[in-house]
A and B are shown apart, each in its own frame.
Chain A
Amino acid sequence: MNLMGLDVAPETTIYALFLVIGAIFLLFELRLLMFPGRKGIIVGSDDILGSDCNSCRSKSGGKMSLGVTVLTDSGKKVKAEMSPCVMCLNKVVLGSRVGVTKVGSRFICQRIIEPMGAPKDAAKLPENLQAIKDCGCSPRPRGFKGYIKSTMKPSTAILVGLLVAAIVLIGVSVVTGANNLHSGLQEEDEVYDLDFADGSGFQEPVLRYEDSTSQANLDINVQLNQEGAGPVIITVYEVSYGTDGQMFEPLGGYSTEPMLLNSSEFTVIGTPVEVANATVDLNGTGDTANASFVIDLEEGDIGDHIYYVTLTPVSSQWTFAGNDTTLTTRNLVMTETVKGEFETLSGMDALKEDMLNVPFFIGFVSLILFFAVIILSLKGVVPQDRLPIQAALVLAAFVIVLMTILGWYLDKSVIRISAQDMAGMVIIHPITALVAGFMVAGALEAAGAFDAAADALNRMENLKFGKFIPFGVPGTVILLVNMPTIIAMPCGRILAAALMPAALYFGFKVARQSGNSKLVGAIVFAFIVNAAASCGPSPLGGIGTIGEGMTKLSIGSFGDAQQLGILFATTVCMVGMKFITPLTPPVLEEKLKKMGGDEEEEEDPIESKDSSDLSGKNPQGKEEEK
């Protein structure tokens, strides 16, 4: 395909198109985060707020969003929609500060970035609602102090203390090497002796090193087995330098042992790099000479380091006596020649050495920064009304990039991130598939497909062919709890929110029929775990596509195995909820008893609500049940 004078593959065009669409979505979200249509606080909710502020409750089926009421700074109330992800990730509760933006006919609610906090004239939570917010389940006081204060209950403190002590102990053990620590394949100060005394000519000894802190000590002895005298150059070549610079391919495969190979037994890919050489003089039959080399392996270059050695007589300077007129390869022999010694630092010394190493330090800090952003955001230490987690992660990525640029000025071995590297940071396939997947999910919701799914479940339960009932309640429940994996969405919350009323409805129904209230939890949470896991095998940009892309496998290669695993997870969770951690809050148990005892006379509010809300619109289930 010719695009603006460039010959571009059709696939590339499609990827580029989706990257542009994805960028538009991201810019749009940035606008929602920074410049929403209106700012305000959550004052009410159609769906959220269960028994504590961390949980949510969905009454309206068929939607992948939850309804909230926002009191704007201008004093108006707006009914808006919020993703369950936003509520969970960004810790949205009653009184949380949010932004509302009108998109099409819908008001979309998101967290906002306000680094300096809310303005003085911002909307305040009405007094009657303040009491609810202070019910004891509201989020902990803000910041680090608030976190410490709220988590320092005696039992928690003891547990955390023990955990920290264990981590410190393990850490000290690791860094001091107290527990016979050795690194992977190698032993310290190991010596490999390779014997080339069989007179087979110029062979290539190969050594293998593993650690960035190693040194290769090559001690080479050369023996002359003929008359004559002259200099010989001993040259050491490196043919492989770590996992990234592979230039050496043994035809018989790799070995963890030192390998003695003829030149016909391996191929050298690329140009070997000369790392050291020395000239020795030999004089007469049996004369030996020695040359020692100490080669520092490149810092931070973890992987194989493979060398070979050549002997090159300086022909022009050689003199011969007797019958010998030329030097033959068979008469110039390396004997007891090559030793590779590992001088691996261990324990605290190794850590000190590594931490002084700029690339290691930057890598270490980037790792810590990533986990710190995730944990501190989720624990509420980073206030979500000032810096939501999604913005914090993007910011952290830019901080890491900045660190590498600064690090490059200190140490040239740090990778200096170029514009091309930045472009390479975008893992194209899963991101574009994610964008496309969300487009499909959005279109399905807009077309009412989730309503239809709930309605279909309801109809399946009542389906009859004469006396034959193909599904009934058990079959429908099995289909319901596995539906998220059957029609896997790019995010598990989409179907979890859309079909939760159906899960509750069938949970109650099964519990009532069997007289066992524990089955409500068994069905609801089997459905939940199935929904949560469903974004793994989803071909609509699910998490599995990242792994498939990375291993260069076709889309869906991991799907079957993951789906089978999820079926097991669903069943195990169901059994666990029934027998090990049964969950039936007293209020529900009471209602279930009522249902079972006097169902003809009294219309149960939950039953009635759930059946009418199953599809959001269709009360058929309730009528047939009565």
Chain B
Amino acid sequence: MTDDEEYIEPQEDKPKGFKAFVAVIKGMEKQMLKGYLALIIFMMVLAITLIVKPPFPIQFILAALALLIMVIGQAKIQDLLAGVILHPVMAMTAGFLIAGAMGLAGGFDVMIYLLDKLAALSMPMVGIGLGYIGIAIFLANTPTIFPMPCGRILAAALIPAVFRWGEKLNEVYEIDPGSTQASIVISTLLAAFIVNAAASCGPSPLGGIGGIGEGNMGAPIGSSGRSQSAGIMIATGVTALIIAIVVQPIPGG
């Protein structure tokens, strides 16, 4: 047989359909199978929870889910503890604590007072200023303008101030504070701020998640920041629009 001659390699008959599926399952390592099972159960429970909206707190479901996944994965309670304690939970909850302290000390009153002054400020010669809506837009985008490595700290600490600014908008635009419109105004501003804050740890040059990608690519720190920030600002606007026009959430609704 010469080199130019064509020949056909003997090929094994590949199983098809359900048999292929069974073959894939059989070929998997036991640990991987457990992983798949855990992932599928997690996604199913999450989807059902969001669709059905059970009458008891989601914490209960999550705890049961964690236990179930632990049983499937044959994980020990120490593994679970290690998985939680690995993260700086204190940093994430510290935002709540300092928000509570600032609320009681009147920090948010002062913040609203200063923002109120800023809203009324007009530029010399031009005669225009940010106004109340301008301040609201600025407030919603604050986390991306000053990105922190963890959006949760700033979000948890400043959400009460954003809520108060929503109330201020209602007052300025003469919306009855007990009305549905007033609730939608506050929800719109809050949801926009939250998505901005959550995403802001992506482009943060102070050690944001973007640093993981930049480190892997050997790129300078902050080199992906502008594209991410542009995306986040669009997301902020889209979220605000969807909440205001489509979702229109109502308390107890």
Contact = CB atoms under 8 A, between A and B. Distances in A.
A492 interface: yes
Interface stretch (A124-132, A269-277, A317-325, A528-536): A528-536
Contact of A425 (B49, B101, B199, B226): B101
Contact of A551 (B32, B36, B46, B249): B249
Contact of A421 (B70, B104, B218, B252): B104
Nearest to B55: A11
A179 interface: yes
A477 to B, nearest CB: 15
A466 to B, nearest CB: 9
Nearest to B31: A448
A560 B121 contact: no
A497 B235 CA distance: 23
A502 to B, nearest CB: 12
B94 to A, nearest CB: 4
A585 B219 contact: yes
Contacts of B102: 363, 366-367, 370, 400
A448 B75 CA distance: 10
A442 B117 contact: no
B227 A525 contact: yes
Contact of B224 (A52, A378, A521, A565): A521
B202 A528 contact: yes
A91 interface: yes
B12 to A, nearest CB: 15
Contacts of B200: 532
Contacts of A300: 106, 109
A25 B85 contact: yes
A446 B83 contact: yes
A49 B53 CA distance: 44
Across the A-B interface, the 3 shortest Cβ-Cβ residue pairs = A442-B83, A447-B73, A104-B78
Contacts of B134: none
10 contacts: A26-B89, A54-B211, A363-B109, A366-B105, A400-B98, A443-B65, A500-B216, A524-B216, A543-B156, A573-B227
Interface string B139-172: 0000000001111111111011001000100011
Nearest to A10: B56
Interface in B66-93: 66-67, 69-70, 72-73, 75-93
Interface string A42-69: 0000001111101111100000110000
A332 B25 CA distance: 94
Interface string A511-551: 00000000011001101110111111101101110110011
A447 B209 contact: no
Given A103-B82, A173-B121, A360-B106, A444 B32 contact: no
Q: How large is the interface on A (under 10, 10 to 19, 20 to 34, 35 or more residues)?
A: 35 or more
Contacts of A459: 24
A439 B39 contact: no
B23 interface: no
A528 B44 CA distance: 25
A21 B102 CA distance: 25
B226 A580 contact: yes
Contacts of B237: 565
B139 to A, nearest CB: 13
Contacts of B69: 440, 443-444, 446-447, 449
Interface in B102-152: 102-114, 116-124, 129, 148-152
A64 B160 CA distance: 31
A440 B65 contact: yes
A83 B86 contact: yes
Given A390-B88, A551-B163, A551-B249, 19 more contacts: A88-B206, A103-B82, A179-B123, A179-B129, A182-B120, A401-B105, A415-B106, A425-B103, A436-B62, A449-B42, A452-B36, A487-B46, A529-B199, A531-B202, A536-B197, A537-B198, A560-B247, A568-B238, A585-B219
A316 interface: no
A84 interface: yes
Nearest to A487: B43
B72 A447 contact: yes
Nearest to A466: B16
Of the listed residues B85, B109, B197, the one surrounded by the most CB atoms of chain A closer than 10 A to its CB is: B85
A547 B214 CA distance: 31
A396 interface: yes
A536 B59 contact: no
Contact of A544 (B49, B62, B191): B191
B5 interface: no
Contacts of B99: 425, 427
A452 B97 contact: no
Nearest to B155: A543
A401 B96 contact: no
Interface string A432-472: 11111111111111111111110110010000000000000
Contacts, number: 591
B58 A433 contact: yes
B39 A449 contact: yes
Given A104-B76, A397-B94, A446-B70, A51 B231 contact: no
B15 interface: no
B118 to A, nearest CB: 7
Contacts of B62: 433, 436-437, 439-440, 540
A560 B241 CA distance: 12
A553 interface: yes
Contacts of B22: none
Interface in B206-253: 206-221, 223-224, 226-228, 230-232, 234-239, 242-243, 246-247, 249-253
A378 B148 contact: yes
B85 A443 contact: no
B184 to A, nearest CB: 10
B89 A558 contact: no
Contacts of A119: none
B128 to A, nearest CB: 11
A364 B83 CA distance: 39
A254 interface: yes
Interface string B182-211: 010011001101110111111111111111
Contacts of A436: 58-59, 62-63, 66
A54 B227 CA distance: 19
Contacts of A525: 210, 213, 224, 227-228
B79 A446 contact: yes
A424 to B, nearest CB: 7
Contacts of A588: 217-218
B85 A565 contact: no
Interface in A128-185: 170, 173-174, 178-185
Contacts of A550: 159-160, 163, 190
B63 A442 contact: no
A397 B100 contact: yes
